[in-house]
Amino acid sequence: MISRRKFLWQTGVLLTSSTVDFLAFQNRASASQLTQFNTLPVAQGYGDLTPIAAENTGELFLALPKGFIYKAFGKEGSVMSDGHKTPPLHDGMACFKVGNELRLIRNHEVSNERVPKLGSAIGPNAYDDAVAGGTTTLIVNPKSRELIKDFVSLSGTLNNCAGGRTPWGSWISCEETTLGQSIRMDADGKLTGGYAKPHGYCYEVSAKTNGTVPVVPLKAMGRFKHEAVAVDKNTGNLYLTEDADTAGFYRFIPKQKKHLSKGGVLQMLKVIDHDAFDTRKGLSIGQKFKVTWVTIDNPDPIEADDDDSAVYKQGFAKGAATFTRLEGAYADHQGHIYFVATNGGDQLAGQIWRYEHKNKTEGSLRLVFESPDRQLLDMPDNICFKPNSELLFICEDSDYKGLAGVSENYLRILMPNGKIADFAKNVTAGFESSEFTGSTFSEDGKTLFVNLQAVGVTLAIWGDWQNFKE
């Protein structure tokens, strides 16, 4: 049995609370105070983690709490139902119910080594035939959790990292790059770019499609290093994260709800009365800001070919706020937008933010959690709420050398009272540092789907979801 992390929750350091609203964080001690008291807010959760093999293949990928099991499918290199091989680097993902089926739409963060390779598109109707990113769709039996069918659903896109599901039954897939026709030199002195088409856009894929969709770049949603998308079901606005050391948090207001290809307005968050506010360090859990939005005049600048920050710089010039490495984003049942700064905070171990809409021009921003120690939470990435609960499931991506990260990767759970629990650990032999990606629940909350990126596998996890303890 894998022992729990080598620290204990000590009663009384944090106030306990029965509330299920993350507003409780404003009364919590700051992360720096926690480390001063030499304790961390650990919850029991579902219990200790024990290595367990996949029920259907016998392969060992995860350590899970007692009472949970999983199946593995959709492996890199396996031949799909449409005859194409499953691409590598499984990333962002969402689960949809279509008729009696569960459908997963899954990103593939393939970079092509940042240079074009003709003929590498993973399927037909490719946007750019020289790149091997895109999405695949997996149809899963909701009772047996067995894979029924899989196929390419978006082809010819680059670095499809995260994205987000929409309330109208589609997946927004995002490119985490702005490479295009220009040739530029990267930090290692390697020439990159030279593509036939510009990249750095969002693309929409319907959950109902049974093949590869025609590719329509949603250029009004900006050309930058996109990471994730979350949709406020009440307003129809989309919120977008940017994975860069100097990043913006964006809002897209479509001209017509549910019809993103018809365009709209892209904006960047600004803290009221604090021009160019820097959120990356020096803040306390629970700190709240009044915010507004500044409009990006040119969401698709040609300068992005050579400058990943071309859109961000427009917002910054108008006083917009700076974040660091914004990754996962998710809307709760009230339409509040939670998003992650992977290496934000004084310990560079991660921040979790919440945006709350007030009116057309204003809202509020709150730092709901900041990791005080990498053993507790280390570089959060994709996030999702378990349906009908306030449990936020967090994928870790802590495999960065030289950043003081922990080489192990977990699926963690953040509770409304500020405690963190372990739910799963990657124990795949030879791939222990592979990040978790694409966490997403079935609508009934019975099955959690998640990917192990470097392993190249999708996992369906289920068990006694009622047995959660603080």
DSSP 96-139: EEETTEEEEEEEE---GGGS--TT--SSSS-S-TT--EEEEEEE
Query: What is the rounded distance in angstroms from the CA atom of residue 298 to the CA atom of residue 321?
Result: 18
Q: Residue 159: pLDDT above 90? A: yes
| pLDDT above 90 (res 18) | no
Structure confidence by residue, pLDDT tens digits, 191-244: 999 999 999 999 999 999 999 999 999 999 999 999 999 999 999 999 999 999
Give 332's strand partners.
none
Query: 250 has which bridge partners?
Result: 240, 268
Model confidence at 30, pLDDT cuts 50, 70, 90, reads very low
Tell me what pLDDT residue 47 has: 97
Give percent helix, percent strand, percent coil of the chain, each to the nearest 5.
5, 40, 55
Least-confidence region, from 11-15, 68-72, 398-402: 11-15
* pLDDT confidence tier of residue 402, bands split at 50, 70 and 90: low
Q: What is the pLDDT of residues 338-360, one digit of tens each?
A: 999 999 999 999 999 999 999 99
Token reading at 163: 């994205």
Q: Are 226 and 92 in contact (CB under 8 A)?
A: no
The separation between CA 263 and the C-alpha centre of its own chain, rounded to angstroms, equals: 24
- pTM higher than 0.85, yes or no? yes
Give the lowest-confidence range in 66-75, 353-362, 380-389, 391-400. 391-400
Where is average pLDDT lowest: 254-258, 385-389, 395-399, 426-430?
Answer: 395-399
Q: In this predicted structure, what is the pLDDT of residue 407?
A: 77
Helix, strand or coil, per DSSP, at residue 93 = strand
Q: What is the pLDDT of residues 235-283, one digit of tens each?
A: 999 999 999 999 999 999 999 999 999 999 999 999 999 999 999 999 9
**Position 437 pLDDT exceeds 50:** yes
| Residue with tokens 């509020």, as numbered in its chain | 364
Quick check: 339 and 368 in contact, CB under 8 A?
no
**Sequence-separated (6 or more) residues with CB below 8 Å from residue 113:** none
- The per-residue pLDDT for 20 is 36
State the chain's mean pLDDT as an integer.
91
State mean pLDDT over 439-454. 98
Residue type, 98: V
**pLDDT tops 90 at residue 83:** yes
Mean pLDDT of 5-30: 34
Enumerate domains of the chain plus CATH numbers. 22-463 (2.120.10.30)
Judged against a pLDDT cut of 70, whether residue 63 lies above it is answered with yes
CA distances from 42 to 7, 8, 414, 430 (A): 8, 7, 10, 28
CA distance 255 to 436: 35
For the cut 70, the answer to whether the pLDDT of residue 3 exceeds it is no
Measured in degrees and rounded to the nearest 5, phi and psi for residue 314 equal -65, -45
Average pLDDT over residues 379-386: 97
Mean pLDDT of 170-178: 98
pLDDT value of residue 21: 45
